[in-house]
Amino acid sequence: MRSQSLALLACLLLAGCMSKSMDVLQIAKPSGETTSSVRPSAPVPSGDTVAAVLEETATEQVAVAAPRPPEGINALALAATTRPDTIIPAPRPAARAVPPKVGPVQRHRFRDAKPINFGKYKPQNYPVHGVDVSRWQGDIDWVTLRSQGANFAYIKATDGGDHLDPMFKKNWRGAHEAGLKRGAYHFFYWCRTAGEQADWFIRNVPRVEGALPPVIDVEYNGESNCRFKLSPARVREKMRVFLDKLEAHYGQRPIIYTAPDFYKDNLEGHFLNHPFWLRAVAQHPSKVYPGRNWVLWQYSGSGLSHGVKGKIDLNVFYGTEKQWRTWIGGQTAVAAN
């Protein structure tokens, strides 16, 4: 009878523990927002429950702002600096001993369905042009696109915490085989935790030698099911979680892509030690983002090129051919997965 009573007591205690565990799991359940029927074949890694709760309740960490560089200093030097905030980054992989091979710069031959007169400081003044693509460009002839002046390509990889662009793997392979410098970008969702989004990107984007730094795309999304507008401080807090996690994994400081309205509301005067990729399709970035240094400028969303059916986004690198090679050579070496 005594042993039976002890056994019964143990079962009751075990049932109570299981019940409490299930309550915690339900609290940590991610939102159901998705953008397509593409689903991962296994559960999306979202970190442990405690980490997710801490991320959502932590207040914004205050960074020690680095002094703004003198006028005329571009983002090439800025991108190599270390952000002096309170987060201690994970050790980076050893630096590359031999700079990666960079093919010859192809002069751009792109056209534009909606050409803009940018005045004195026009995109054509920059020698290194590139593109960004997603599923909407369909099947791309990468060899032809390269011959038209695409020296680099940023490829849409992921959205939120559960969507993989169905053309990512094919585009990732095709751009590399055609000799373009390639990188991947993530479209950020504001109703998903930053940690699970970083995990999803890391799960789907290979860590390979010579890849361009990863990109976080932050902008307003009118088609999203998420209707919450976060405070600017909360926006920056979530971005830091994502950026720090990617930097620790890839050994490269991620680039921030943004648009004028989102930048003005949330980013102006912040992230001074991160490289920026700026959308400015009517004026030069110096007019749209006064005082902000940049590495990449997206100057058109209506580009036309052989090798692509329909329109394509066009971009330039801020610098000369020599600076392009220096920037590529300065990226941190990483080991392939």
Kindly give the pairing relationship between strand 181-187 and strand 215-218: parallel
Token look-up 């090798």 returns: 307
Q: Which residues contact 80 (CB under 8 A, 6 or more apart)?
A: 330
Cα distance between residue 92 and residue 334, in whole Å:
9
In 51-192, DSSP assigns E strands to 111-112, 129-133, 152-159, 163-164, 181-187
Q: Which residues contact 23 (CB under 8 A, 6 or more apart)?
A: none
Q: Which of 219, 223, 247, 268 is catalytic?
A: 219
Helix H or strand E encompassing 202: helix 194-204
Helix H or strand E encompassing 238: helix 232-250
* 210 φ/ψ sector (left φ>0, alpha ψ -120 to 50, else beta): left
Contact predicate 193/234, CB 8 Å:
no
**C-alpha distances in Å from residue 161, one per residue of 24, 34, 226, 292, 337:** 20, 8, 13, 30, 21
Token code pair at residue 218: 């932050």
219 is catalytic: yes
The residues that are catalytic are: 219
